[in-house]
Structures are given as structure tokens and as C-alpha cells.
Structure 1
Amino acid sequence: MSPRHIGLAVLVAAVWGLNFVIIHVGLENFPPLLFCALRFAVVALPAIFFVRRPAVAWRWILAVGLVLGVVKFGLLFLGMHAGMPAGLSSLVLQSQAVFTALFAAALLRERPAGQRIIGLGIALVGIAVAAVDRGVGGPIGAFVLVIAAAVAWGLSNVLTRKAAPPDALRWMVWVSAVPPLPLLGLSLLVEGPSADLRALREITPAGLGAIVYVGLASTLFGFVAWSFLLRTYDATAVAPYSLLVPVFGMSSAWLLLGESVSLPAGCAALLVIAGIGLTALPPGALAGPGRRLRMRPPRPSVPAAVPPGRTG
């Protein structure tokens, strides 16, 4: 990768890592489901009136919009609202790599190589360590909600692979048009009209900034930039930079929110990052010199797994 594109990859990881702190700020200003609805509304409107629908069937747009937007992000925001720390959320959500592999094996008949199975096993051990630590130090229900969000993210990755949209920007805009109404309906039912109206009536600059950041910076910029990198270089050259997301997430939560990192949580982070890093290596890379990664021309399909930063 060129130095400029390495810088872009690091920037995207930083944007996605900081995103969890910004979500924390947004949840201080809005009920979680309403905040999630506003996040996708900012991405879809008014862009949907100027961006043509991607050349994929409606069923894929609706399926990914519901699974990724409503289920994954709805559960993530609910989990963080229930007490899951921003830094730990940025780490636990990376377990989506495990669930993506499981769904790909079940639905796409993909069989991971032994090296990848070992890496996924190491990552699962890290998640288990984090779960035990969270069970001792905080509400386990919030942890379970974020794990469930990672499961939904894994499923949405496989659905996106099946859809194979040719244009990342159009895909993101149209997928983002699906979640706002279902999320708003759920917010009215669960959080109540009075809470929603009060949050909108008393909106603060911090709340408005959080909506703009998670919608435009994290979702739109992050996804399109990451997709560009994956279309330009081998996935094995780009994917390791996603390991910086929990690094930026946990460090920004420590610096800006004062979140401490316990020894078990630190060990869990190392295990998860090492495990996912092992899955990102090309098969046989540990047995001998790796093949030289070469730049390749853009291709008209999206990567095998939806990048982590939409994360949040």
C-alpha cells in the first residue's frame, strides 16, 4: 500500500474507534432507538433523492437495512445505553469476525482453513475473558446485547456478499433509508413519544454533532473509504488495519471518558486482536515468507465482509 493509502486506512480506523465515544455522547442526549434512527436518516436524506438505487434486488437492500441498521445498531445502542462501556464495546463488537465465518460456513458453504479456525478460537477465548470480567464488574445483560449486535453484523456481512453491490456509496445510502422508520416506530413503542419529543425539543450542539459524526463521518465516509481500499488492494493488505479500531476505541474512551481498562480486559483485547489478526493473514503465511502484495485495479464488487466502522 502507498503511504497515502496507509494513512487513509489508519484514519478510517481512528474514525471508527472514536465513533464509540461519540455514540456515548449521543446516548446522553437521545433515547438509544431514536438516536439510531436519526443516525441513518442523516445518511439517507437528502442523498437518496440524488443517488440512484444500486443495481441489486430490493430484497437485499431491505434485508441488510433491517439486519444491519435495525438489529445490529439497535442492539449496540441499547447495550451501550444499558451500561456497556464505549471502549469495551469497540472490542467486543469485533467478534463479528467469528460470526461472519460461522454464517459463511452455514449459508455459503465456505470452509475456513485451519489457520483461520485457530485465529477465531483465540478471538473467542478473548471474548470469553471479557465476558467473565464484565460479569464481575458490570451488567452482563449489556454485554449480551453487544454480542447479539456482533451476531447480527456477521449475518449482514454474508447478506452483503450475496447482494454484491457494485457501488459502495449508492449501497450505503439506500441501505440507510431502510432503518429510520422501523427504528422510529420501535422508539415510540419502547421509549415513548414524550421521551422522543423532549429529546428533539431540547437538542444540544453535542447531540447534533453526535448525529452528524456517526452518520456522515463514521458511516458514509468510513464505509466508502474502506471499500475503496479493499477494491484497490488485496484484502490481506487492508484487513489488518481494522485491528486498530478497538485500539483507538479503548484509548479514546480512556482519554475522553475516563474509562479504566482492567487487567482481564487488557488480556481479552490482546487475545481478540491477535486472533482476528491471525484470520487476516493469507493461508500459510506463518509457514514461510509471505507473498508480495500488489496493487490491483478496482473491481466492481464489495468486500467479503462489511468493514467494522459502520460500526458504530
Structure 2
Amino acid sequence: MHARHNAALTALLAAALFGATTPLAKTLLGSLSPFMVASLFYLGSGVGLAIGILFQRLRRTAGERQNENRIQVWELPWLLGAIAAGGIAGPALLMLGLSTTPAATSSLLLNLEGVFTAVIAWVVFRENVDLQIFIGMVAIVAGGVALSWQPGAAGVSPGALLVAVACVAWAIDNNLTRKVSTNDAMVIACLKGLVAGSVNLGIALLLGAHLPSLGKMAAAMLTGFAGYGVSLVLFVVALRNLGTARTGAYFSVAPIFGVALSLILWPEPPSLLFWVATALMALGIWLHIRERHEHPHTHEVLDHNHPHRHDEHHQHAHDFEWDSDEPHTHPHQHVTITHTHAHFPDIHHRHTH
């Protein structure tokens, strides 16, 4: 399978895990407050990934621990901004908006996250976009609108505006996370989960909520670990390989997985809009997968650290004993090179056009 197909599959798997969280939450946590649900999901993500990171580091050799990529001081503002926007502001704005906004309207408005993510990536960070990718994004968003459409769901109330601003917060989060995506995806997702979970738990307790039973808490945290934690790890890896707008487009198909799982848990004939949404999202994914962006481009000198193989972009010597195992992680430098090949706006192709 081509590398671009692997990257697309990573993003779609992230979307599937996240999308499946909604119906599972409905079966597990119907009696809990929204902030308590959010806090347990985020804490499950953070704690689960922290345990995974601990086991991972215990298995590494001293040399591997020495060469592992660590978040640099200059990257901290990007990471803290992402956590503040997506882990704190986004959930808080959404919960406040949901309190006065019909569920149907909220579902429609949540499709704006993909739109805002792409617009910020294209306009602010100058990520490449061509007509095919733009049409694919439109098709995926249109599929999300069709999936959540209900007659009479339109209307712009103060609550609806809060939901829309929450989507802006998550779009900012997505774009800022791309800035630190060369780092360990598990560490990034773990930090987001622990901070967002703690903040949302504090808000829930201040509003009078109480912790649920141990069994329900464990079920919620396990759901959050898969739907928020593992999903976010895959999302960060996809950001590294696809860029923000393309990863956001693939992730926007998450609702279709949620609806499909709902139909399995509560069997009923799919509606016509479900099939319309499926067709539109499939069209959008197809347009993205068949993209071929190719032109002469120059790589400037770049020093960074991330898992890599010795492909055409990673032709370097090692200043340590290497057992030829790939992929491997260590600080390395990219020399200036000019060549032509198909590429995405990944961590090695952030050039202007």
C-alpha cells in the first residue's frame, strides 16, 4: 500500500474511533452531566496513554531513550495553545451552547469544525490546496450536513453561536497541534487528556456533579481511552503525514461511523439521508485519495527529531551505533535538496507555491 494510503487510513481509523464514542457514550453515561462525561473521557485518554508511555519507555534501551524525540521549549507555546483551545475552551463552549441549543442544530453546527480547520490551514498557515481537494472537502462537509439534517433545525441563537465558536476553538487546536506533530504522538495526546480532563472535572464538581459508580467510571474512561486517546494519537500521526486540512477532512467523516454503530446497537432501516451522506463522504474521500500534487521543490536545511526511515528525504549518517532497525528516532539534519515527486504538505513539505 502506498504511503499516502497508509496516512489516509490512519486518519480514517482516528475518525472511526472518535465517531464510535458518541453512541457508546449514550449507552454508558445517559445519567451524567456533560462536563462529567467530558472529564471522564479525557482523563481516561490521559491516564491510559500515560500507562502506555511508561511501558513503552521501560522496554526501550538506554540508547533509544537518549534519542527519543522530546518537546522543545520553543514548541511549548504551540502545545499549550492547542490544549487551551481544544481541551479547555472547546468543550466548555460546547457544553454551554448545548444547554440552550436543540440537538439537531448542534449536530449541524459541529460540521463547521472541518470547515474552520481547512480555512485556517489554507489562509493562515498557507497550506497547499487545489480544486480537487477543495471539492473533496465540500463533499465531506455536505455529507455531514445531510447526516445531521432535520427539518426546522436552522436558526442562529446565542447557544448556536457558542457551538460555532467551539468549532473555531477545535479548528485552532488542530492547526496548532500540527506545529508539534513531529513529537511523540502519545505524549501530545496524553498531555491534552490529562489537562482537559482535570479542567472539565473541576468544572463538573463546581457545578454540583458527583462522581459516578466505580463500574460506570471505568467504562467511561475506557471509552475515552479508545475514542479520545488512541484516536488523537492516530490524528497526530496523520497530521504529521498529511497536513492539517487533509487530516481534518478525513476526520470529518467521524459521524458516519457513529451513526453506523448506532444502527447496529439499535437496529432500524437507514434513512435516505444516511445513504446520501455516505455517498457524499465516499466521494470526498476518493477525491482526496486520488490527489497527486507534484512539482519541483526545494528542501531547506532542517534539524528535527521524529520516527523515520532512510528514504530519499533521510539520507544521513549516524553518530551512534545503529543496528539497521527502521523506523528509528534520533535528531537528524536535512540538507538542501531540490527534486520532484508527488507529496503532501507533511512535516517535510511546508514550502510555499
TM-score with structure 2 length normalisation?
0.60
What residue identity is the alignment partner of 1:218? Answer: G
SS at match of 1:109: coil
Contact 1:19 1:249 in 2 (8 A): yes
Deviations 1:15-64 (A, max 9, x none): 33321212223441321112212222233348399589733533222211
Aligned positions of 1:58-137 closer than 5 A? 58-74=76-92, 84=103, 96-129=113-146, 133-136=149-152
SS of the residue 2:195 aligns to: coil
RMSD between aligned residues? 4.5
DSSP 3-state at the match of 1:30: coil
Counterpart amino acid of residue 85 in structure 2: V
Report the residue type matching 2:113 in the other structure: Q
Is 2:111–2:141's contact at 8 Å kept on the other side of the alignment?
Answer: no
Alignment map for 1:1-312 (pairs within 5 Å): 1=1, 14-45=16-47, 47=50, 54-55=71-72, 57-74=75-92, 84=103, 96-129=113-146, 133-136=149-152, 148-188=165-205, 192-193=207-208, 196-197=209-210, 200=211, 202-203=212-213, 205-214=215-224, 216-225=225-234, 227=236, 245-257=254-266, 261-283=270-292
RCO comparison, higher one (Cα < 8 Å, 6+):
1
Corresponding residue of 1:309? none
Unpaired segments ≥5 residues, structure 1: 286-294, 306-312
Indicate the percent of aligned positions where both proteins have the same amino acid.
26
Supply the distance in 2 between the matched residues of 1:61 and 1:108 (Cα, whole angstroms): 16
Report if aligned partners of 1:72, 1:149 keep a CA contact under 8 Å in 2. Answer: yes
Shift of 1:185: 4.0
Alpha-carbon shift at residue 129 of structure 1 (Å): 4.3
**Residues 193 and 229, structure 2, Cα contact 8 Å, conserved in 1:** no
Deviation string, structure 1 residues 240-280 (Cα, Å, up to 9, x no partner): 97577444311111221457754345424432442354244
Question: Does the residue aligned with 1:212 lie in a helix, a strand or coil?
Answer: helix
- Alignment CA distance shift 1:108-1:226 (3 Å): closer
3-state SS of 1:177 partner: helix
Which structure has the highest strand share of the two? 2
TM-score by length of 1: 0.66
In terms of fraction of residues, the more helix-rich structure is 1
* Residue aligned with 1:97, SS: helix
Aligned length: 278
Please say if residues 181 and 239 of structure 2, whose CA atoms lie closer than 8 Å, have aligned partners that are also in contact: no
* 1:58/1:260 CA distance change after superposition, 3 Å: farther
Q: Deviations over 1:116-135 (max 9, x none)?
A: 2222333444455456x324
Which residue identity is paired with 2:42?
F
Q: Per the alignment, in what secondary structure is the counterpart of residue 163 of structure 1?
A: coil
